[in-house]
């Protein structure tokens, strides 16, 4: 599997884009940014968007992607997929004809996008991948994903504080090659991390015990203003298999 980092951060800074990953050129995992990282033809190749939750740093790029697709002559309908509460939040709060046009209805003869409600804790086909959504622990309904192509797979945490079910669901998975895990705040902001339900390096250290030993842990969603501090703290957690993902780089599993 080929995973391109469109946005590696938990917010926006100069040259630092919010969370978004592109799997095999066709499947988005979150869409904090899309058009800021891809050419127009690359955007029109996207067929599916797996969305962890409705926060803007994960969906803002979806707004502009749908507009780009609306003016494209070569597009296929974009399938926006998640668990029911996340799909409901997107309908009610984003594509509601107030915040943004309802592109699931526009244009009436061939809408730009359609919603797909995924079944919790069950493996289902999304494009050329198998996807298992598992709820995680954030301030709004949020799902992590286990993504597999039949040979290799990875875990994607979504925004979450300490959690159990996702790691448990991935236990024993054959071909598991990496866990993408968020880390938003430095250790000194542990109180805020607890309220906002995010990871700090110290919290992450405890999560590692729930993962298979030696599984590469790929970090994303660092808040840009705390980048150097968090990376420094992460280097003291377990330098051996923690990797801070680089934006615009393509990783192959």
Cβ of residue 150: shortest distance to Zn ion, in angstroms? 30
Cβ of residue 98: shortest distance to Zn ion, in angstroms? 21
Could you give the string, one character per residue 132-161, with x where binding to Zn ion holds by CB under 5 A and - elsewhere?
---------------------------x--
Could you give the string, one character per residue 2-21, with x where binding to Zn ion holds by CB under 5 A and - elsewhere?
--------x-----------
Tokens of 41: 């033809």
Tokens of 128: 């050329």
| Contact indicator for 103, 110 with CB cutoff of 8 Å | no
Tokens of 211: 């993962």
Cβ of residue 181: shortest distance to Zn ion, in angstroms? 13
Distance CA 198, CA 229 (A): 16
> What Å distances lie between residue 189 and 21, 33, 56, 195, 206, CA to CA?
27, 26, 22, 10, 16
SS3 108: coil
Tokens of 134: 């598992």
- Is position 57 an interface residue for Zn ion (rule: CB under 5 A)? yes
Measured from the CB atom, the residue of 10 and 153 that comes closer to Zn ion is 10
- Is position 197 an interface residue for Zn ion (rule: CB under 5 A)? no
| Contact indicator for 33, 15 with CB cutoff of 8 Å | no
Angle between helices 201-208 and 227-238 (to 10 degrees): 30
Q: Which stretch binds Zn ion (CB under 5 A): 48-56, 89-97, 103-111, 125-133?
A: 48-56
Cβ of residue 204: shortest distance to Zn ion, in angstroms? 15
> What Å distances lie between residue 39 and 19, 35, 65, 92, 126, CA to CA?
18, 7, 11, 29, 23
- Is position 30 an interface residue for Zn ion (rule: CB under 5 A)? no
Q: Which stretch binds Zn ion (CB under 5 A): 51-59, 113-121, 186-194, 232-240?
A: 51-59
Cβ of residue 224: shortest distance to Zn ion, in angstroms? 12
Measured from the CB atom, the residue of 55 and 75 that comes closer to Zn ion is 55
Residues in contact with Zn ion by the rule CB under 5 A:
10, 55, 57, 159
């Amino acid at each position: 599997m080929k995973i391109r980092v469109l946005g590696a951060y938990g917010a926006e800074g100069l040259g630092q884009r919010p969370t978004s990953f592109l799997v095999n050129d066709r499947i988005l995992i979150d869409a904090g940014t899309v058009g800021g990282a891809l050419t127009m033809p690359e955007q029109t190749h996207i067929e599916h968007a797996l969305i962890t939750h409705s926060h803007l740093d994960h969906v803002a790029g979806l707004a502009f992607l749908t507009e780009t697709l609306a003016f494209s002559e070569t597009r296929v309908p974009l399938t926006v997929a998640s668990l029911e509460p996340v799909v409901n939040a997107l309908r009610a709060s984003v594509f509601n004809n107030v915040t943004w046009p309802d592109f699931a209805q526009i244009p009436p003869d061939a809408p730009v996008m359609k919603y797909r409600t995924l079944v919790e804790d069950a493996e289902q086909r999304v494009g050329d991948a198998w996807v298992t959504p598992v709820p995680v622990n954030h301030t709004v309904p949020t799902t992590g994903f286990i993504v597999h192509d039949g040979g290799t797979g990875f875990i994607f945490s979504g925004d979450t504080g300490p959690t159990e079910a996702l790691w448990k669901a991935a236990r024993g998975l054959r071909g598991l090659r990496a866990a993408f895990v968020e880390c938003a705040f430095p250790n000194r902001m542990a109180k805020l991390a607890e309220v906002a339900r995010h990871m700090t390096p110290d919290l992450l250290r405890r999560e590692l015990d729930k993962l298979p030993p030696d599984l590469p842990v790929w970090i994303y969603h660092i808040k840009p203003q705390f980048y150097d501090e968090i990376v420094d703290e992460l280097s003291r957690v377990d330098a051996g298999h923690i990797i801070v993902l680089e934006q615009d780089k393509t990783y192959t599993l």
